[in-house]
């Protein structure tokens, strides 16, 4: 199941990336789209995609109620793909520092035999 979840996450990420790359600019505010701050809004009627819209996160947050209102008026369900959630940074692994050398070693040292 873990593999299927990872696969679904990868497919969803790539689908959002595809839509963002086609939009380039946010249709509402004309800023350059970034997949980490993009939201795809899919309108579905009984599991069939009716309309798909893509917005930057700021525009989506501003118009979230409007999307829901339009969907409820037309009897559609809204499916959100939020890049902020998909690309949420996982906590980085702790870095292990190498113990510092007593003195810096540059290249090889050749010691003359006595």
Q: Which of 16, 20, 26, 71 binds Zn ion (CB under 5 A)?
A: 26
CA angle 48–51–41, rounded 5-degree value: 100
Q: Is 28 in the site for Zn ion (CB under 5 A)?
A: yes
Q: Which of 82, 91, 97 is nearest to 35 (CA)?
A: 82
Q: At its nearest, how many Å lie between Zn ion and the CB of residue 58?
A: 6
- Return the bridge partners of 82, or none: 39
Q: At its nearest, how many Å lie between Zn ion and the CB of residue 80?
A: 15
Query: How many residues sit in the footprint of Zn ion (CB under 5 A)?
Result: 5
Q: Is 38 in the site for Zn ion (CB under 5 A)?
A: no
Q: Which value, in Å, is the radius of gyration of the alpha carbons in the chain?
A: 24
DSSP code for 61: H
Per-residue mark of binding to Zn ion, 42-81 (x: CB under 5 A): --------------x--x----------------------
Q: At its nearest, how many Å lie between Zn ion and the CB of residue 60?
A: 8
DSSP code for 103: S
Q: Which is nearer to Zn ion, 23 or 70 (by Cβ)?
A: 23
Strand order in the sheet with 38-45: 48-56, 38-45, 77-82
Binding site for Zn ion (CB under 5 A): 26, 28-29, 56, 59
């Amino acid at each position: 199941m873990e593999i299927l979840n990872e696969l679904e996450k990868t497919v969803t990420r790539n689908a959002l990336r595809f839509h963002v790359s086609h939009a380039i600019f946010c249709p509402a505010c004309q800023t350059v789209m970034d997949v980490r701050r993009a939201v795809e809004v899919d309108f579905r009627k009984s599991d069939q995609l009716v309309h798909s819209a893509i917005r930057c996160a700021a525009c989506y947050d501003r118009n979230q109620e409007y999307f829901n209102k339009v969907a409820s008026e037309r009897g559609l369900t809204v499916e959100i793909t939020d890049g902020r959630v998909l690309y949420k940074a996982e906590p980085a692994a702790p870095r292990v520092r190498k113990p510092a050398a007593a003195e810096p070693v540059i290249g090889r040292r050749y010691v003359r035999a006595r």
